[in-house]
Amino acid sequence: MKDIPWSQRLLHRLEPEAAHLAALSALRLGLAPMPQPFDDPILSTRVWDLDFASPIGLAAGFDKDAEVIDPMLRAGFGFVEAGSVTPQPQPGNPKPRLYRLTEDRAVINRFGFNSQGLDAYVERLRARARTGRARGIVGANVGKNKETVDGAADYVTGVRAVAGLADYLVCNISSPNTPGLRGMQARAPIEDLLRRVLEARGEATPAGHRPPPLLAKVGPDLDEQQVQDIAEVALSTGVDGLVIGNTTIERPPGLTSRDATQDGGLSGAPLLPRANACLAAFARATGGRLPIIGCGGVASGADAYAKIRCGASLVQLYSALVFYGLPLVNQIKRELADLLRRDGFTSLGDAVGADLRA
């Protein structure tokens, strides 16, 4: 297991949520040290007619309110997904709600979609267009307010607001920290949701422009029938892709950290096997016809490569940054490039789903 660098050890002296806010402030103010740029041509890929310098992206949750998109792109991410944002501001669940499981290289959170709301989020996306922006792809991840009864209506509101401001859109229907949210992954609710948000996306896209790709983010705690249902709905509705997955409410055996029994969603290294199994199941169920963003447990080039071979066209990480910081991004890219060449691949796209084909 890799050692935690000194910069992260300093942040670990703070309470976890305070450390996260301090990191956001440092990035926003230009005080965070930026890694030297590293881009290997073998990592470039084209998905949804979008050009990604690398398949390594920042998962939603780190930058909930779209405050540090450009610093994170400059840090080496090929794409950044900001959110989840809810239509109305909401404080989320009571604190404490974020726990470092240092011995397990894992995190538990029960934030509950804390959000400054769509107005602030949209204004920051618009400001990027006015002030210049870093190279890279940006995704907008939308969610629902806790008290909303018609959850799909909140996703429609979010998609309408951001459709012309991001390269791709994601509906997060799998956070375990908003009551009833994961119930939207059932066949009838997800079909209703996707049809409504796809219609809203079309209506909100400026005339003469191509609608941004729209994805659904589902969790790893799904049984075989749920995977099949979601895959069939995704294909029949015409949604553009899936994000697999979110945090898990399960606790794998062998966790040793003091806070391992806290309520909330578990992410980080212990999630990797479960997330990869779910990813492979969706890749098989969709027959490779839908691009998938693989998320959950990535902390090395080998982890990213495993997801790609399971069927992921793109890969996201977040929790590993808590322990290894921004230099991890370039490290993963270098390791991934070496692994692709070792196995005789001349492009990243050729490796997608290699294990399933085998």
SS3 content of the chain, % helix, strand, coil (to 5): 40, 15, 40
Strands 265-268 and 106-109: antiparallel
Hunting for tokens 């050009």 — which residue is that? 51
Strands 292-295 and 314-317: parallel
List the catalytic residues: 175
Task: Report helix, strand or coil for 196.
Answer: helix
Output phi, psi for 255, to 5 deg: -65, 135
For every residue of 205-253, which 3-state class applies, written as one string? CCCCCCCCCEEEEECCCCCHHHHHHHHHHHHHHCCCEEEECCCECCCCC
* Cis peptide preceding 213, ω within 30 of 0: no
**Between the CA of residue 128 and those of 65, 124, 174, 290, what are the distances in Å?**
13, 6, 29, 30
Task: Report helix, strand or coil for 281.
Answer: helix
